[in-house]
Amino acid sequence: MKVLAINSSPRSHGISKTGILLDALVKGITEAGAETAIVQLRKKSVRNCIGCYTCWTKTPGVCLHDDDMTRELFPKWMESDIVVYASPLYHFTVNARMKTFIERTLPLLEPFMFRQDGKTHHPVRQKPPKAVVLSVAGFPEASVFNYLSTYANMLFGKGLLAEIYRPAAELMTLPLFHEQAQAILDATTQGGRELIQSMKISKETMEKITEPIVQNLDSFADMANSFWKVCIEERITPFEFYQKNMVRPESEA
């Protein structure tokens, strides 16, 4: 089985919570025997779809853009059994880089229309890969992923094998929450194994992946606000904060 993991986070390894969670998932997928490739979209040239429909008429199935998507990523996507779409939550859905990647899969479709089960569809040139959606957010409530979940289910339908959403993800790298974070990552790795073994993640494993890191959300907000106040007072970005090895405010959240 071939699995393609797409990471659209703009952050580098070790800072990206998307990357940390994705690495844990891929570890389990690989341990279960799947052939896995991880693509960091920030390192790739993927131009925006311009809606020209060249891939539907002049060169059926082939985009006119001569970039990494056409030469490398789309062929890999087409030959994969499962694709993991890993994106930080920006404005309640995938970020722009991931949305661009998804839009550039248009050559999979043919322009014709047909009706089925009360809905209009395009025929596909070949069966698309199954999908797993993974995302992280700074807000602590699981409901922050509701719009992304709606989008994912609309886009992938029955081909959506699993949705892995991690709220309060910024806490996962803080020493105070090391044990909780490790338990979440271990469960995510187990989820990867289950995906390959049974094409789904069990309810018990999903509950461990989404286990709340903090119980007192007011305390969580206070801790986050203290951190941002330091960044504002020092006139530094969060990335510069970590570069300087500064201590992030912690609490008994």
The Cα–Cα gap between 42 and 95 comes to 12
The two tokens of residue 9 are: 């986070």
Tell me which residue of 155, 171, 156 sits closest to 217, measured CA to CA.
Answer: 171
Tens of pLDDT, residue by residue, the chain (253 residues): 999 999 999 988 678 999 999 999 999 999 999 999 999 999 999 999 999 999 999 999 999 999 999 999 999 999 999 999 999 999 999 999 999 999 999 999 999 999 999 999 999 999 999 999 999 999 999 999 999 999 999 999 999 999 999 999 988 988 888 999 999 999 999 999 999 999 999 999 999 999 998 888 888 888 889 889 999 999 998 888 877 776 655 544 4
H-assigned helices in 50-134: 68, 74-78, 96-103
Q: What percent of the chain has pLDDT over 90?
A: 81
The mean predicted confidence, pLDDT, of the chain is: 93
Element (H, E) at 2: strand 2-7
The two tokens of residue 186 are: 């271990």
H-assigned helices in 157-213: 178-198, 203-209
The two tokens of residue 229 are: 């106040």
The Cα–Cα gap between 200 and 160 comes to 9
The two tokens of residue 252 are: 């008994």
Domains of the chain and any CATH numbers: 2-213 (3.40.50.360), 215-253 (no CATH)
Q: Are 5 and 84 in contact (CB under 8 A)?
A: yes
Compute the residue count for the chain. Answer: 253
The Cα–Cα gap between 26 and 36 comes to 7
Instruction: Give the tens place of pLDDT for each residue, 175-217.
Output: 888 999 999 999 999 999 999 999 999 999 999 999 998 888 8
Contacts (Cβ under 8 Å, ≥6 apart) of 11: 18, 19, 88, 239
- The three-state secondary structure class of 92 is coil
